[in-house]
A and B are shown apart, each in its own frame.
Chain A
């Protein structure tokens, strides 16, 4: 397998009235061809900023890529010109947003909006692009695609709009789709349908998926590899099996324990655990491990120096100096 996306040492900071907020502060993420990688973490941990930065969709200013590289198929996107970025957006990397209700433009039909990117990248005629849009709607299982291409977003439900968003992201056959919390804004019953659809699309088209989520349950069912982020940093990275079997970072352990489990709840009185405390300020992050304030294993050592990301077993990396002790 070959690496198509390789983010390393990425730092994205935002200028505010009170100073620079270090939203992403040194992150390494790699995605292989055809692979599904999931970034998981609480809101505010920098996962969405990381995802949007890949396509440079954050507002700059106030945002700024302070350091690092985003290598896409051998080419660094950080110094890429706006025109080079436009050629990659949708054509090579598709993006699915969190809010299907607001991510579509209310004044154009969904067909026009899908056709727009096809026409931009493949130079199709209006007619051919609309035909492609209808095909895409059929692909994402929207009934009556031929007539629904002429409908406006407000005529679709939230779940249907997210299908439209997926159709739009896939319309130019990208090699990677970044899905930024694609199910967060949807009803629980719809969430599963959308994730199933993504999996189905992946099987048919074979693109890689970078799935951003805060729900561990979504990770378990969809990803092959998981990256756990906390306060702008990667704290753990592992294939999905080992991550759930032997989570090494206290934060990951907390996340997994906070998943409601029907099987356990039925047998023993297992309490759902919440992680105490809140995410530290990214304006003035504490020195040392950023999770230390909320960690029951924290020692003086943790607060003194930032822990490096270490590979403990093949493919399983963790940024915690006590990882071995905790795992044992």
Chain B
């Protein structure tokens, strides 16, 4: 069970520092918080002409929430706001186990590897924190 969750991919992305910074040209700044566990992130986006030109984050949390945030940022770079909203919806549906078809999840690219977390109800909110934060920031 553990090897399906704490994969190389999660280890790599949770320990990566590349996307942990602040954006001097941020157009959107959104805080996300899981009050029950204390995980907290600040997501920053630089949206130019309806396209997410750059994204970064800061904050603390478990490996799942940190890796999920890091992978989300890499997926979102270069996407339009509409594409980003669709991808966030898709990811959240995957983690809740509502969409299981791999072909449908193709659009999530590498992030689809987080699918196994849908089998761990206690960790669902860790994986979705960044994505809910993204949805909130884009709906503004």
Do A and B make up one complex?
Answer: no
